[in-house]
Amino acid sequence: MKKVSYLNVNVTGGFWKQKLDMISDVTVDSVYDRFKETHRFDAFDCSWKEGDPDQPHVFWDSDIAKWIEGLAYSLKNKPNDKMVAVADEVISKIEKNRDEHGYYNSHFLVTGERFTDRSEHELYCLGHLIEGAVAYYEATGKRALLDIVCKYTDYVEKIFVKEDSAPFVTPGHPEIELALVKLYELTGEKRYLELSKFFIDKKGNNPKDKPLYRGCNIYYNQDECPVRERQTAEGHSVRALYLYCAMADLAYYYNDKELFEATERCFENIVNRRMYITGATGSTCHGEAFSIDYDLPNRVAYAETCASIALALFAQRMIKLCDDTKYADIVERTIYNGILSGISLDGKSFFYVNPLEIDLDFNKVNTCTENNDHMPITQRLEVFDCSCCPPNVIRFIANIGEYAYTHTEDTLYVHQFMESDSVIDGMKITQKTEYPANGKVEFTVTDCNKKQIKVRIPGWCDSFDLHYDGEAVTEGGYIVITPEDADFSFEVTFDMPVKFIGTNRRVHENAGRVALMRGPVVYCLEGVDNGSDIKNIRINPKGDFTVGEADFLVPSIIGKGYIEPHSDEFYYDITAPVEYEEQSVKFIPYYAFANRGESDLLVWILAFGA
Amino acid sequence: MKKVSYLNVNVTGGFWKQKLDMISDVTVDSVYDRFKETHRFDAFDCSWKEGDPDQPHVFWDSDIAKWIEGLAYSLKNKPNDKMVAVADEVISKIEKNRDEHGYYNSHFLVTGERFTDRSEHELYCLGHLIEGAVAYYEATGKRALLDIVCKYTDYVEKIFVKEDSAPFVTPGHPEIELALVKLYELTGEKRYLELSKFFIDKKGNNPKDKPLYRGCNIYYNQDECPVRERQTAEGHSVRALYLYCAMADLAYYYNDKELFEATERCFENIVNRRMYITGATGSTCHGEAFSIDYDLPNRVAYAETCASIALALFAQRMIKLCDDTKYADIVERTIYNGILSGISLDGKSFFYVNPLEIDLDFNKVNTCTENNDHMPITQRLEVFDCSCCPPNVIRFIANIGEYAYTHTEDTLYVHQFMESDSVIDGMKITQKTEYPANGKVEFTVTDCNKKQIKVRIPGWCDSFDLHYDGEAVTEGGYIVITPEDADFSFEVTFDMPVKFIGTNRRVHENAGRVALMRGPVVYCLEGVDNGSDIKNIRINPKGDFTVGEADFLVPSIIGKGYIEPHSDEFYYDITAPVEYEEQSVKFIPYYAFANRGESDLLVWILAFGA
């Protein structure tokens, strides 16, 4: 199965066109402004010296590289000459300031010894530069950055493989491994693929690779076992998921069954035991890491935006290895929930950490010490000291077209639904849809050269209507259309009722509570709509919940809640059946929370009889 | 209103006789052994020098002083010549090793400058030595320790009041203030009372008194305002409550209305907003402190045993100021729950921190860092580095008789129920009861010289039966018996049904959950009886709950619980009414938790329609 590049998919309207326009019109420039203000662009002058302010950080290059990658993808939607000029200037500075081997890092070029410490993100930064270079070349045809990263990669191959002269073998933060696969895909140079395989094969239990950072053990950066022996998803969640991306890529290109099975074990472990309903992962702030099975705290969720993105990147790669619809289901879960919650509706600000519950009354509880338990911030910020998430959101959303399709010789797979005109392997396919506002998708195909079209039936969907004048069956989670003509059309409407969702009872955090979903969208209650006592609101999952206004692209959901009357009593006898007060409750999409000022938030709602 | 000393109250049987025997037979000796092993007794040799192991800690003296105080009270129940000899030896060492001014502290005598830092617990230790001296004198007639602390106190008065030469004015940890009142009560020396008043009057917003410890602010040790301006209970909960004890004492002796009103505000703030159902307070580990109103986390409850003891000490003092039954209700809540949970049923081990929930599945959740969120230990220990709680439990329980009565010229107040023979102001009163196993108490009075006897109707009690051949009314929370003869008897039976208790809805932690109480005893579910999924068990508060075996002095409670079936699904649609599985549930008294190995624990249970 092959991917279909975003370059082949024109998103023309609906939900994702709105998001693409936001990225093009606002986010690319806004993140540029914040990175400029925080001297991340100045770092490429390589003129910092001891005593100067604003020392370039070891991973600042990756921020800019992801921004370049995101800018490149966004050009498919709209041109942005001003920002392209900025990118060109950055690239020319790298070209000018790199050393004679092709090495480039804005921090180490001005401060010290290179490749001495695997925790220092140098290969991570190179990985992002490679991804940026590939995207920028594909979008603009300019190959300056591509040439830069190829030369730098040759140097890395020399000292890590040929000379084996570096004091460590594998990088502390996986990223270059998956980037090298992209470089191979673009250039066809097998040695890039092999360099990736080298890092992957050497990963884990490697005596030359020391644990990172005081207080972290070998699980933190996936060093506890060789990759093929991996049973569970452990440690820093973004590092882990980038590693699994590369493992999936190599399983694909080398047809490596052991690698595939290891990635599959990690996937299953995550999605059945360690993932929030929003597709977010990495529940603990300690090490920004996967916790143990079923440990999914809502208020102190870590749930980094980059980890949701990384899970989508991983799941999309798994699709190419196996046509089980569960992978695209997870992509869908992340893109409408845990990823989109990471960016404000105006496109300017970001969550690094995405809580599933905010209780403002108790957000700052200590009155006599400076210490406080880790409590996520309640409003998005435009930039962070560690600002990995903002450009990651840009590059992910700007590339959303890539998630719509994959194909084989004889089959076109439709994974995600978005209004679009696409040309795939010579055939044209359009989708007309307001998905996920409703479940109707109209497909028009011309010049069909495939034997079948497989349309994913979303995992959340129990029934659908198909209008097609021809042969169609349901098989393996897909609607399988076998066309009789080169040109034809069909229409699918996935029934999209309000659903209440329970959690496996081993997730003690959610005991007695349910979440509301409609289609792929997870909903929440916010204080601004429902008062600050949302933790006490009970709903009846069998009650009447109706679709309201589409305040945030998809409809809000309106229904009845029940709450005990206010009382001054502290502890009181429950002597008679409690006479609940009714109040209207309004659910909004989780991705839209914290866009109307600071507010209480709740995904998991008390429920009668659930 | 005057107190009735424990010396006047012979506890002869029932619940508290069992506890007194445990203290006499086991705990006094066991804590001695642990303190001996940990070199706390050796410290009185004052022979430690730089380079030696086991440097005496600044507050070790207080551990031994509380142990002496507890030993003294326990002698009323049973003699203990061996431990009395130990105490005598300690006292003779203090006498020998104190300096020429009468100053004694096992740490500072061997290490350094005295009275330079108010955080160093010197006056706190003196306070406990005074309490120990008073108790030991009253129990044994031996006045060596009394003479020691009188001389030491004279020295303190000299440098803190007369000379004003100490670099601080008030101690960091209140304790001496309430101890000086006891010294006054015993000796009749008014200047001890005035020294207490000096410390209390100077407390708060005092420029010479610096905040303690890095990371703590002025709330930590109650320095944020003068005591009479205090509106709420703030900071380190034991420090706060010892302070309020002294404030209540001084309000009593000086008839100080402002002081009384301040203590009353603190009392109300605590019991209506900042107290666990068990009477435990100080919910946050950060500063071992009161948190904001309604912040009562169950799993990470701090709820120090000493703070529950201190709340009882404070409430008992308030009784003398005002005959509102609410104070004795709080004493009762603490003694049957938050205090008693601090000691194991075998009398040997202790909780410093008393969680209201243990979820073993998630007790150690981090796999990749050394960091962990504060999580209370799940089994009691015999000794701690900071081992304030064990001897505090000894002295509190050994003195339990003191909580039964107070009296005025014409009224005897019965506050707590315990099988006992007492002589009060010439009259004899006996109680025969199994309280709190059931609510029946038989009183026999001879030589009655009071105009009335007021028996507290516990706050939890909605109805009772009284058998008395004479005049009796219910008034202000008391049953008021007006005897016609000098000798008479009466019997009260407080109805003691199983009750389910809700919390004010502002305590979001307990939303949708109820606790079970029967009489004054708070119950809990333990995993050992109910399986590890107790967080998911729902009960119906209107269901049938029956009294079972008295495994732990009071009956366990048996009823039905409801739980959703086990499932492999992680997130699942709630498509039909959930078919709950029934399971028998067994509640045991909270004070008995963690006595049968490590187990899950839950006080607040999911409830249908509550």
One DSSP character per residue, B34-70 reads HHHHTTTTGGGG----TT-SSPPPTTHHHHHHHHHHH
Q: Is the pLDDT of residue A610 over 60?
A: no
List the structure tokens of A499. Answer: 């659903």
User: What is the mean pLDDT of the segment spanning A251-255?
Assistant: 98
Site from A268, A299, A368, A604 to mutate, B interface, most B CB atoms within 10 angstroms: A368
pLDDT at A371: 67
DSSP-assigned letters across all residues of B137-163: HHHH---HHHHHHHHHHHHHHIIIIIS
CA distance B134 to chain A (A): 34
Please tell me the distance from the alpha carbon of residue A323 to that of residue A407, in angstroms, as a whole number: 10
Q: What is the mean pLDDT of residues B551-573?
A: 94
Task: Tell whether the model's pLDDT for residue A365 goes beyond 80.
Answer: no
**DSSP codes of every residue in A283-345:** -BTTTTEE-STT---STT---BHHHHHHHHHHHHHHHHH---THHHHHHHHIIIIITGGGB-T
Per the DSSP assignment, residues forming a β-bridge with B290 are B235
Mean pLDDT over A45-60 rounds to 96
Which residues of chain B have a CB within 8 Å of the CB of A512? 512, 536, 538, 606
Supply A563's token pair: 């709450």
Q: Is the pLDDT of residue A183 over 70?
A: yes
Of A427-441, A554-568, B236-250, least confident by mean pLDDT is A554-568
- Compute the average pLDDT of residues B490-498: 98
Nearest CA in chain A to B223: A368
The pLDDT, as a whole number, for residue A576 is 66
d(CA B547, CA B523): 12
What would the pLDDT profile of B393-403 be if each residue is shown by its tens digit?
Answer: 999 999 999 99
pLDDT in tens, B355-376: 999 999 998 777 788 766 678 9
Contacts of A196 (CB under 8 A, 6+ apart): A176, A177, A178, A180, A181, A184, A246, A249, A250
Q: Average pLDDT in the A128-145 region?
A: 98
CA–CA distance, A335 with A279 (Å, rounded to integer): 8
Q: Is B274 on the interface with A (CB under 8 A)?
A: no
Q: What is the pLDDT of residues A256-297, one digit of tens each?
A: 999 999 999 999 999 999 999 999 999 999 999 999 999 999
The sign of the CA dihedral A541, A544, A550, A553 is positive
**pLDDT more than 70, % of chain B:** 98
Mutate to test the interface with B, among A272, A369, A567, A590 (most CBs of B within 10 A): A369
What residues pair up with A92 in beta bridges, in sequence order?
A: none
pLDDT of residue B371: 67
Please name the residue of chain A whose CA is at the shortest distance from the CA of residue B366: A291
Q: Which of A205-209, B98-102, B573-577 has the lowest mean pLDDT?
A: B573-577
pTM: 0.96
Judging contacts by C-beta atoms under 8 Å, the chain B residues touching residue A290 are 367
pLDDT recorded at residue A575: 73
Q: How far apart are CA B565 and CA B578, in angstroms?
A: 9
Of A286, A365, A567, the CB nearest to B504: A567
Query: Rg for chain B (alpha carbons), in Å?
Result: 25
CB contact under 8 A, A564 and B502: yes
- A95 beta partners: none
pLDDT attached to residue B373: 65
Strand A427-433 and strand A440-446: the pairing is: antiparallel
- Which residues of A are less than 8 Å from B234 in CB distance? 367-368
> And the tokens for B539?
């009960």
Hunting for tokens 């061997």 — which residue is that? B110
Q: What does the angle CA B326 – CA B331 – CA B334 come to, to the nearest 5 degrees?
A: 125
CA–CA separation, A278 and A269 (whole Å)? 16
- Radius of gyration over every alpha carbon of chain A, rounded to an integer in angstroms: 25
Per DSSP bridges, beta strands B521-526 and A452-456 are unpaired
- Decide if A536 and B512 are in contact by the 8 Å CB cutoff: yes
Dump strand ranges (E) for B153-306.
235-236, 289-290
Cα-to-chain-centroid distance, residue A374? 23
DSSP bridge pairs for A561: A539, A583
CB pair distance less than 8 Å for B502 and A366:
no
pLDDT level of residue B565 (50, 70, 90 thresholds): confident
H-only helix segments in A495-560: 527-530
Going by pLDDT thresholds of 50, 70 and 90, the confidence category of residue B566 is confident
Q: What sign for the dihedral angle of Cα A391, A394, A395, A396?
A: positive
CA B499, B501, B502 angle in degrees (round to 5)?
Answer: 155
Q: How confident is the model at residue B76 (pLDDT cuts 50, 70, 90)?
A: very high
Give CA–CA dist B89/A480, Å, rounded.
92
- A367 and B570: CB-CB below 8 Å? no
Crossing angle of helices A305-321 and A237-254, rounded to 10°: 10
Tokens of A482: 């076998």
Instruction: Give the pLDDT mean for B346-356.
Output: 98
C-alpha distances (whole Å) from B456 to each of A165, A498, A570, B460 are 83, 55, 21, 11
**Contact map slice: A 437-466 vs B, CB within 8 A:** 462
Asked if B574 and A504 come within 8 Å (Cβ–Cβ), the reply is no
Average pLDDT over residues A412-426: 97
pLDDT for position A608: 86
- The yes-or-no verdict on residue B576 having pLDDT over 70 is no
Helix (H) or strand (E) holding B250: helix B237-254
Q: Does A504 contact B568 at a Cβ distance shorter than 8 Å?
A: yes
A167, A170, A175, A176: CA torsion to nearest 10? 70
pLDDT at B610: 56
Please tell me the predicted confidence (pLDDT) of residue A95.
Answer: 98
At B384 the three-state DSSP class reads: coil
Check whether B6 has a pLDDT greater than 60: yes
> Alpha carbon A408 to chain centroid distance?
25
Summarised one tens digit per residue, pLDDT across range A318-353 is: 999 999 999 999 999 999 999 999 999 999 999 999
Average confidence score pLDDT of chain A: 96
* pLDDT band per the 50, 70, 90 thresholds, residue A372: low
A505 contacts on B by Cβ (under 8 Å)? 533, 536, 563-564, 566-567
Cα–Cα nearest to B183, from B126, B231, B258: B126
Q: What is the pLDDT of residue B608?
A: 86
Check B571 against A273: CB less than 8 A apart.
no
- B573 bridge partner residues: A501
Please indicate whether, in this complex, the C-beta atoms of B272 and A563 are within 8 angstroms of each other.
no
Positions of B annotated as catalytic residues are 288, 388
Query: What length does chain B have?
Result: 610
- CB of A207 less than 8 A from some CB of B: no
**Which of A571, A573, A583, A602 is the best residue to mutate to test the B interface, defined by the most B CB atoms within 10 Å of its own CB?**
A571
3-class SS of residue B471: strand
Give the HSE-up count for residue A352: Cα atoms under 13 Å, Cβ half-sphere: 13
- Position A495, amino acid: D
Report whether A601 contacts A358 (CB < 8 A).
yes
Cα(B459)–Cα(A465) distance, rounded to whole angstroms? 63
Question: For the packed helices A190-202 and A176-187, what is the interaxial angle rounded to 10 degrees?
Answer: 160
Using a CB–CB cutoff of 8 Å, tell me whether B579 touches chain A.
no
Residue in B291, B372, B573 nearest the CB of A365: B291
How many alpha carbons lie under 13 Å from residue A107 in its C-beta half-sphere?
A: 18
User: pLDDT band at residue B8, thresholds of 50, 70 and 90?
Assistant: very high
A514 inside 8 A of chain B by CB? yes
Residue type, B344: S
What's the pLDDT at A211?
67
Which among B234, B365, B533 has CB closest to A292? B365
**Facing residue for A359 by CB, picked from B284, B508, B607:** B508
Q: What pLDDT does residue A398 have?
A: 98
Of chain A residues 143-172, which have a CB less than 8 A from chain B?
none
CB atoms within 10 A of CB A154: 16
Q: Which residues of A touch B533 (CB under 8 A)?
A: 505-506
How many angstroms separate the CA atoms of B4 and B401, rounded? 8
DSSP string, B547-577: E---TBSB--EEEEEEEPPP-S-SEEE--S-
More confident: A9 or A373: A9
Point out the residue among A215, A271, A570 whose CB comes nearest to the CB of B369: A215
**Chain A stretch 322-381, residues whose beta carbon is closer than 8 A to a beta carbon of chain B:** 359, 361-362, 365-374
Answer yes or no: do A570 and B501 touch at CB < 8 A: no
CB-CB contact of B563 with B583 (8 Å)? yes
Confidence (pLDDT) at A366: 74
> What phi and psi values does residue B263 have, to the nearest 5 degrees?
-65, -40
Query: What confidence tier does B216 reach under pLDDT thresholds 50, 70, 90?
Result: confident
Q: Is the peptide bond before B436 cis (omega within 30 degrees of 0)?
A: yes
Structure tokens at B471: 């005049």
Q: Are A208 and B363 in contact (CB under 8 A)?
A: no
A597 touches chain B (CB under 8 A): no
The reported pLDDT for the residue numbered B575 is: 73
Contacts of B294 in chain A (CB under 8 A): 361-362
Residue with tokens 């002589």: B423
> If you average pLDDT over residues B445-459, what whole number do you get?
97
- pLDDT over threshold 80, residue B205: no
The residue behind tokens 């008992």 is: B316
- Answer yes or no: is the ipTM higher than 0.90: yes
Q: Is the CB of A501 less than 8 angstroms away from the CB of B572?
A: yes
